[in-house]
Amino acid sequence: VIIPFADYIQSIKLVRGGAASFAKDTVSFSKNKDGLLQEEGVNIPRRYYRGGYISYMSETDSTNYYKYSSEFGESTHLKTGTVIVTEDEEIAPNGKLESDKLMPLTEGSSSRFIQQNISSLPIGEFTFSVYAKFKGERYVRLVYARNSSPYTVYGEAVFDLVDGTILSNVSGQARIEDSGNGWYRISVTGTSTVSSNLFRIS
């Protein structure tokens, strides 16, 4: 049992043998009372602030397969027709100075992108999400697809960072959430049928 609206957790293990403890195997983020993302460590619950009240968010364990997700200068990011203008230029949604400004070198979305290929992704449903802010480029496309022929697309959508809307949802399920200070969390969810896939931002 998780008691809401209190900065305290009491849990009851519904089997013979005593009380259970709260456990979380990964680092996650809460949105704090100032609207900023706050990192929560292993075994620390995610909090949700509503005015002077605090409740807790429960979710299944997750793994981030997209490496160096706030360091686009790393070589794991395949950059085509795109350059990093400045690194750690502006306050990110977590309140830290660690956001990168990217700029396309061409107008065609198919020839300007940043991509990661992941060859050991389990088969199943996954969500690809990034935080993005309008800094001259209004539209962002996310693609989650197979990284070899026939390049099956599991999730694809175009987002409008000015209006905060989904411009088109080609495949899978798209979502956009306001994260404050001009930032949006944009995502696509789809189900892969092979273990080698790509995640692309264009």
> Which of these, 119, 121, 114, lies nearest to 143 by C-alpha position?
114
Q: What is the pLDDT of residues 150-182, one digit of tens each?
A: 999 999 999 999 999 999 999 999 999 998 889
pLDDT at residue 61 is higher than 50? yes
Whole-structure pTM value? 0.70
- Residues 22, 43: contact at Cβ < 8 Å? yes
Q: What is the pLDDT of residues 30-41, one digit of tens each?
A: 667 666 677 777
Give the whole-angstrom CA distance, residue 64 versus residue 20: 27
- Residues 47, 30: contact at Cβ < 8 Å? yes
Eight-class DSSP state of 121:
P
